[in-house]
Amino acid sequence: MRFHRQTMLSVTMAATVFLAACSSTPVVAPIAKTVAPSSSAPISQASPQPTAPAVVTATPLASYLDPKNPLYKERSVYFDFDQSTVKPESAQLVEMHGRYLAAHPEVSVKIEGNTDSRGGAEYNLALGQKRAEAVQKALKIFGAKDAQLEAVSFGKEKPKAAGDDEAAYAQNRRADLAYPQK
C-alpha cells in the first residue's frame, strides 16, 4: 500500500509540474499535505519555479508616420492647370509610395484629389476625382493593390495655400496621399 501511495503521489506531482510548464500563464501548483508512515523518509515537494518578467518590446514606427522618412515628408502630387495627368517630376514620389504599399499589403491609403479655387464646385469635384484616380492608377503600376487604395475628391474645399495668385493655385492643384494615423 505504501508503494502505491508513493507512486500515485509521484504521478500527481509530475502531472502538475508538466501542466504548469505547458500553461501560458503561471500556475502555482497546490501543495498537498501527505501523511507518510513514520518508517518511511519524507517525500520532498517540488516548488514552482519563478517566472521571468514579461519583456516589453517597442513596436517600430511605420515609415509613413516617421517624420524623418520621405514617405512622411513627400505626399503630394502636383498638377498643371485643368489637368489630371501625373507629371514626370512626380514619378519618383509615386514609385516610392507604390513600392512601399506593395511591400506592406496591410497598409491602405486615401488619395485626396484637390483643385484650385477657380471654376465651379461640381467641375472641381470631378477634376479632383480625376486627379486622385490618376495617382491611384500610377501607384498600381508599382505594385499597390486596389484594396489598399481609395480615391476621393475634395475639389476646392481643402486648399493648402491661401491666396488668389499662381503660387497659391499651384499648391492647391494636387492629390495628397493620406495614410492612417494609427
Q: What is the pLDDT of residues 128-143, one digit of tens each?
A: 999 999 999 999 999 9
What integer is the mean pLDDT of 27-31? 45
Specify whether domain 63-178 bears CATH 3.40.50.300. no
Place of cell 501607384: 139
Residue 62: per-residue pLDDT: 82
From residue 14, alpha-carbon distances to 6, 27, 45, 64, 139 in Å are 12, 14, 11, 52, 60
For 87-114, the pLDDT digits (tens) are: 999 999 999 999 999 999 999 999 999 9
- Domain extents for the chain? 1-49, 63-178
Q: What is the mean pLDDT of residues 8-26?
A: 41
Section 29-43 average pLDDT? 48
Count Cα atoms within 13 angstroms, Cβ side, for 149.
26
